[in-house]
Amino acid sequence: MKNRNVTVGLFVAGGLLLFGGGMFLIGDRRQAFGRHMEYSSEFVNLAGLSMGAKVRVGGMDGGEVVAIDVPDSPRSRFRVRWRIGEKLGGLVRTDSMVTIETEGVVGGTYLAVRPGSSRGAPAPALATIPSTEPMELSAILTRGSGLLNDAQSLLNTVGGKLSGTLDTANATLSNVNDIAVGLKQGRGAAGMLLRDDALAKQIRQTVATSTSSIDEILAGLQAGRGPAGMLLRDEAVEGQIRESLRNMQQATANLDHASHQADALISDLNSQQIPQKVGAVVDSLGDTAKQAHQMVSDIAQPDRQGVTAGENIRESLMNANAASLNLADSSEALKHNFLLRGFFRHRGYYNLDRISPEQYRRDTAFTSRANHRAWLPASELFVEGANGEEELSMTGKAVLDGVLTEDGESIFESPIVIEGYCNGVGPADQLRLSRTRAILVRQYLQSHFQLDSSSVGIVAMKNSPPSGMERKTWDGICIVVLRRRTK
């Protein structure tokens, strides 16, 4: 009994030792007793990769696949989690690449990790390493089958063409053989050349004569006779030809330099993305035009009362004009108020824009001889425009500039009246043209000298100056610079 217990104890101890040794060997093989670093990668196709498959880093067994997460939709990918020994972690970088490869042709699949470069940072644990999809053997076989089919088709096509080419070559050789036989028998022109002795003698004489003529031509060229001899022997012509060649070479070099500059300019424009920027600006302008068009369409829609935007704008402008006229009337009435009219009476006028020709002729503020007057004939100022109406000429503008600069800066302080005159056929033409001429001159002076519009007035005098002037009639313009009255 005692021996039996010892035997059982030894058996149990041996079994435990064997079990422990087996567990140690299995754990060591699966690297269960070392430190690991875990990573993950994503694939669309696993190509038969399963959990527990080997992981090789740079061709060395370094770990295993620990888990495979199945995607929840076709658009997602399989997420493979794998681990390797800590000693191989330094080879895994952010620019490493993971792929699924096969051991041999029909062997098992494993996960291959290609070490990254020294420029890449070490990949931290649990990082997702970039991956490439595996190339399946079935796809390679399918592609090889397609290539074989294409090669077979090509061989069939080439075989047919080669057969036709060989037939053509055989026919050509037969024709050449017939020609050779005919030449030997003296048939045809070529055969006659080969077999006719008289013709051969004539050819020899012709060759001898031609040789003699060529010798004479060469002797003439060496002696410098004729145009060709001059080209060969005349040094002046040779120099001109060399100069022409140098000019052509210089022109070619200039063209080549211009071509390089054009290429550099185009490259510079492309590097600055000028075409893309122009395209973006054009697109932006198109969008702005569409928005403006939409805004105009929205504004043009009728309001709640059914009135369109154009009618509202027209009515608003009419109201604004009416308000402006009312304000002008109120201002004119205020000028005639007993508190202010003394100032305007002392000045001699209320408003230069509302002076009638009759009032102008009676008012001594305008007809006084103390005022500076410049009489300018129409022939010096105006020309007929393209529409048949008068317009200021360049000479006329120069004359006006000279007249106004005679008084220096006083033109900016003194009121100016432009009298328009015209010797027209009838009173209507005289009134129209005299006013038109005065308006043209006022517009030019205001825009050119930046004069205050309230200090420049016009009056249409037809063809009669005010009484007391040295002229009874006039055709043109008279610029009057008013002198301020002294108290």
Domain-embedded: residue 460: yes
Residues 6+ apart with CB under 8 A from 125: 37, 38, 39, 89
pLDDT value of residue 190: 66
Residue at which a domain ends, from 144, 160, 185:
185
Domain-embedded: residue 165: yes
pTM of the model: 0.34
Assess whether 6 and 111 both reside in one domain.
no
Residues 6+ apart with CB under 8 A from 56: 62, 110, 111, 112, 113
Domain-embedded: residue 409: yes
Domain-embedded: residue 21: yes
Q: How far apart are CA 381 and CA 35, in angstroms?
A: 105
Assess whether 1 and 63 both reside in one domain.
no
Assess whether 380 and 463 both reside in one domain.
yes
pLDDT value of residue 323: 66
Q: How far apart are CA 76 and CA 156, in angstroms?
A: 46
**For the segment 341-391, what is each residue's pLDDT rounded down to a tens digit?**
444 444 445 566 667 888 888 888 888 888 889 999 999 999 999 998 999
26 SS3 class: helix
Structural domain span for residue 124: 34-133
pLDDT value of residue 430: 92
Nearest Cα neighbor of 80 from 64, 91, 92 is: 64
pLDDT value of residue 343: 47
Instruction: Match 């970088």 to its residue by tokens.
Output: 93
pLDDT value of residue 101: 93
| Alpha-carbon separation of residue 328 from 258, 349, 401, 469 (angstroms) | 69, 16, 32, 34
Residues 6+ apart with CB under 8 A from 483: 368, 370, 371, 372, 414
One-letter amino acid of 458 = I
Domain-embedded: residue 217: no
Domain count along the chain: 4
| 357 backbone dihedrals φ, ψ, rounded to 5° | -55, -40
pLDDT value of residue 346: 46
- Strand 109-114 to 54-57 pairing: parallel
**Beta bridge partner(s), residue 78:** 43
Q: How far apart are CA 345 and CA 71, in angstroms?
A: 100
| 384 backbone dihedrals φ, ψ, rounded to 5° | -80, 125
Domain-embedded: residue 227: no
390 near 422, Cβ under 8 Å?
Answer: no
Q: List per-residue pLDDT tens for the chain, 487 residues long.
A: 667 787 878 888 888 888 777 766 665 555 555 688 999 999 999 988 999 999 999 999 989 999 999 999 999 999 999 999 999 989 999 999 999 999 876 778 999 999 999 899 999 999 999 999 987 766 677 777 778 888 788 877 877 777 778 788 888 888 887 777 776 766 766 666 666 677 777 778 887 887 777 877 777 767 667 666 666 666 776 777 888 888 888 888 888 887 788 778 777 767 777 777 777 778 888 888 888 777 777 666 666 666 666 666 776 777 776 666 565 555 555 445 544 444 444 444 556 666 788 888 888 888 888 888 999 999 999 999 999 899 999 999 999 999 988 877 777 878 899 999 999 888 999 999 999 999 999 999 999 999 888 889 999 999 999 988 888 999 999 999 987 655 4
- Number of neighbours of residue 64 by Cβ within 10 angstroms: 19
CATH code at position 412: 3.30.1330.60
Assess whether 424 and 346 both reside in one domain.
yes
Q: How far apart are CA 102 and CA 25, in angstroms?
A: 26
